[in-house]
């Protein structure tokens, strides 16, 4: 049996949500495989069918051989009896002191004219009557089935000798009934035994599956504990552990490379933004202003890449209580042409840089979808418990085939990098909120980002 898996530090419970999406292994460890899809059931059913076919062939062979031997023994008895009686009639003096049979004997002596000259007591009604059975080897006399043979009885004519086969038929019927009962009950017994054996044999494999289900690549890639017995399950878990080590090494290299790229881009972008800002202040040239916005776009893209490289758990929030108007001014400068609705006179408890990054990503996507002539609206609704940002655009809406995958990294329906929505959902989750998206009934896409409200009293 496999030892229980130790959860990784800070690992969420199975089925928990991170950023509005289920974690990769969520809910799988406790899932039950439907019996008709179970490997255990398929093995038990295959084992039962093969065993049933083998037992059926063997049973049919045994019963056929048994019935054949019983039939042969019956014929031998019948022929022995007929030969003995025929010898008594054919050999002078051989039959002295012998009888043709008892009260239940089936014998008839037939002359050359086909008339019964003598018969055993049970067949006395046939005496001096024509022989009625011709060449039949099986006849029914009353309720009794009789198998018969004929022998030459010297000068007396033809000797007809019969032997009741009711006992043989009863034995044959019993053997067939026993075979049918075995064929009916055996599959059920074999299926139950196969299910039990399969459950015991595959318990290690089921434990390995449960352990593998608990792996969350976003949190930890800790190797799985190995069973003591070096069987196929041990080999499977060893292969999984080697794969996890390679995955973790690959992820580390990817994060390192991504971090280096972002670092190399950060310094030139900072200098470029400062130079463009000074040029914009001196010249007020619209081309310079447009270049400054492009530099801001690149800066936010590098921030998204950095957040992706570091991972959510490595990021820390710097909480501040800021006026909503301050956030509006930032967003208005970053995404010009946005229409702001709602009440922006209150305050928001958040990490201003992260929240600006999240909402700005939504606005930038909306502007990209709506185009230069389209409309982008940001509505703020604030209550004591929740602050909600609703971003709506006049674009074509979200591709219906993407669904929730729109929030996965590098999945985009508008030709962007595909990082903005993923990062925005992570930031919302870090604030204790959520991000959802869909298509508005009147057209265009609509995203709703919610974070907890400050719930501050007058004294606070």
Taking 70 as the threshold, does the pLDDT of residue 416 lie above it?
Answer: no
Task: Summarize the confidence of residues 212-237 as an average pLDDT.
Answer: 71
CA distances from 179 to 59, 68, 182, 223, 402 (A): 7, 15, 5, 54, 60
**What is the tens place of the pLDDT at every residue in 24-53?**
444 444 445 565 666 667 777 777 788 778
Task: Summarize the confidence of residues 130-146 as an average pLDDT.
Answer: 88
- Residue-level pLDDT at 328: 94
Q: How many Å apart are CA 70 and CA 171, to the nearest integer?
A: 9
- Residue-level pLDDT at 376: 95
Taking 90 as the threshold, does the pLDDT of residue 335 lie above it?
Answer: no
If you average pLDDT over each of 84-93, 99-108, 222-231, 436-445, which comes out highest?
436-445
- Residue-level pLDDT at 228: 75
Verdict on whether the full-model pTM lies above 0.85: no
CA distances from 264 to 257, 301, 306 (A): 11, 13, 12
Taking 50 as the threshold, does the pLDDT of residue 171 lie above it?
Answer: yes
Domain boundaries, the chain: 316-460
If you average pLDDT over each of 19-28, 109-118, 299-308, which comes out highest?
109-118
Task: Summarize the confidence of residues 235-250 as an average pLDDT.
Answer: 83
- Lowest-pLDDT choice from 42-46, 403-407, 440-444: 42-46
- Residue-level pLDDT at 25: 42
Half-sphere exposure of 183 (CA within 13 A, CB side): 14
Backbone angles phi, psi at 387, to 5 degrees: -115, 125
The contacts of residue 121 (CB under 8 Å, 6+ apart) are 103, 105
- Residue-level pLDDT at 436: 93
Task: Summarize the confidence of residues 201-205 as an average pLDDT.
Answer: 69
Taking 80 as the threshold, does the pLDDT of residue 223 lie above it?
Answer: no
Task: Summarize the confidence of residues 203-217 as an average pLDDT.
Answer: 70
Taking 60 as the threshold, does the pLDDT of residue 346 lie above it?
Answer: yes
Task: Summarize the confidence of residues 396-417 as an average pLDDT.
Answer: 74
Q: How confident is the model at residue 7 (pLDDT cuts 50, 70, 90)?
A: very low
Taking 70 as the threshold, does the pLDDT of residue 284 lie above it?
Answer: yes
Distance of CA 15 to the CA centre of its chain: 18
Task: Summarize the confidence of residues 145-151 as an average pLDDT.
Answer: 90
> In terms of Cα–Cα distance, which of 369, 47, 420, 366 is closest to 197?
47
Task: Summarize the confidence of residues 439-458 as an average pLDDT.
Answer: 84
Average pLDDT of the chain, as a whole number: 78
Taking 80 as the threshold, does the pLDDT of residue 199 lie above it?
Answer: no
Task: Summarize the confidence of residues 145-150 as an average pLDDT.
Answer: 90
Q: How confident is the model at residue 333 (pLDDT cuts 50, 70, 90)?
A: confident
Taking 60 as the threshold, does the pLDDT of residue 4 lie above it?
Answer: no
Secondary structure of the chain as H, E, C letters = CCCCCCCCCCCCCCCCEECCEECCCCCCCCCCCCHHHCHHHHHHHHHHHHHHHHHHHHHHHHHHHHHHHHHHHHHHHHHHHHHHHHHHHHCCCCCCCCCCCCCCCEEEEECCCCEEEEECHHHHHHCCCECCCCCCCEEEECCEEEEEEEEECHHHCEEEEEEECHHHHHHHHHHHHHHHHHHHHHHHHHHHHHHHHHHHHCHHHHHHHHHHHCCECCCECCCCCCCCCCCHHHHHHHHHHHHHHHHHHHHHHHHHHHHHHHHHHHHHHHHHHHHHHHHHHHHCCHHHHHHHHHHHHHHHHHHHHHHHHHCHHHCCCCCEEEEHHHHHHHHHHHCCCEEEEECCCCEEEECHHHHHHHHHHHHHHHHHHHCCCCCEEEEEEECCCEEEEEEEECCCCCCCCCHHHHHCCCCCCCCCCCCHHHHHHHHHHHCCCEEEEEECCCCCEEEEEEEECCCCCCCC
Q: How confident is the model at residue 12 (pLDDT cuts 50, 70, 90)?
A: very low
- Residue-level pLDDT at 340: 96
Taking 80 as the threshold, does the pLDDT of residue 310 lie above it?
Answer: no
Q: Which has more pLDDT, 5 or 234?
A: 234
Q: Which has more pLDDT, 257 or 36?
A: 257
Q: How many Å apart are CA 336 and CA 327, to the nearest integer?
A: 14
- Residue-level pLDDT at 456: 53
Q: How confident is the model at residue 160 (pLDDT cuts 50, 70, 90)?
A: very high
Q: Which has more pLDDT, 406 or 445?
A: 445
Taking 70 as the threshold, does the pLDDT of residue 1 lie above it?
Answer: no
Q: How confident is the model at residue 432 (pLDDT cuts 50, 70, 90)?
A: very high
Q: Which has more pLDDT, 28 or 433?
A: 433
- Residue-level pLDDT at 10: 38
Percent of the chain at pLDDT > 70 equals 79
**In the CATH hierarchy, which top-level class contains the domain 316-460?**
alpha beta
């Amino acid at each position: 049996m496999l030892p229980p898996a130790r959860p990784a530090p800070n690992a969420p419970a199975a089925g928990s949500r991170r950023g509005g999406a289920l974690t990769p292994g969520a809910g799988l460890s406790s899932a039950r495989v439907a019996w008709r899809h179970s490997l255990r059931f398929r093995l038990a059913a295959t084992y039962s069918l093969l065993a049933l076919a083998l037992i059926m062939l063997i049973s049919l062979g045994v019963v056929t051989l048994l019935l054949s031997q019983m039939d042969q023994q019956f014929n031998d008895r019948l022929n022995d009896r007929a030969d003995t009686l025929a010898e008594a009639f054919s050999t002078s003096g051989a039959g002295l002191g012998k009888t043709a049979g008892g009260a239940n004997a089936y014998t008839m002596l037939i002359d050359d004219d086909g008339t019964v000259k003598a018969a055993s007591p049970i067949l006395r009604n046939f005496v001096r009557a024509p022989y009625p059975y011709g060449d039949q080897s099986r006849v029914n006399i009353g309720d009794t089935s009789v198998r018969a043979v004929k022998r030459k009885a010297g000068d007396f004519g033809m000797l007809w000798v019969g032997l009741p086969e009711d006992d043989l038929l009863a034995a044959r019927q019993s053997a067939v009934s026993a075979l049918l009962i075995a064929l009916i009950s055996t599959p059920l017994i074999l299926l139950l035994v196969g299910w039990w054996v399969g459950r015991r044999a595959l318990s290690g494999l089921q434990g390995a599956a449960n352990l593998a289900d608990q792996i969350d690549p976003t949190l930890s890639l800790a190797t799985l504990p190995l069973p003591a017995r070096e069987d196929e399950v041990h080999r499977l878990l060893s292969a999984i552990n080697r794969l996890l080590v390679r995955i973790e090494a690959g992820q580390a290299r990817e994060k390192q490379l991504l971090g280096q790229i972002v670092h190399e881009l950060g310094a030139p972008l900072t200098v470029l933004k400062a130079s463009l800002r000074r040029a914009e202040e001196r010249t007020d040239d619209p081309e310079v202003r447009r270049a400054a916005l492009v530099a801001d776009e690149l800066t936010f893209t590098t921030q998204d890449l950095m957040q992706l490289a570091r991972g959510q758990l490595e990021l820390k929030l710097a909480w501040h209580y800021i006026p909503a108007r301050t956030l509006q001014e930032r967003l208005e400068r970053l995404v010009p042409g946005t229409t702001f609705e709602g009440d922006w006179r209150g305050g928001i408890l958040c990490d201003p840089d992260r929240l600006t990054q999240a909402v700005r990503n939504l606005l930038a996507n909306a502007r990209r979808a709506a185009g230069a002539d389209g409309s982008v609206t940001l509505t703020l609704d604030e209550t004591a418990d929740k602050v909600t940002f609703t971003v709506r655009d006049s674009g074509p809406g979200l591709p219906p085939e993407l669904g929730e995958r729109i929030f996965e990294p590098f999945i985009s329906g508008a030709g962007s990098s595909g990082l903005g929505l993923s990062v925005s959902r992570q930031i919302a989750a870090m604030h204790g909120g959520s991000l959802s998206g869909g298509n508005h009934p009147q057209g265009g896409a609509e995203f709703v980002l919610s974070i907890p409200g400050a719930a501050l009293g007058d004294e606070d």
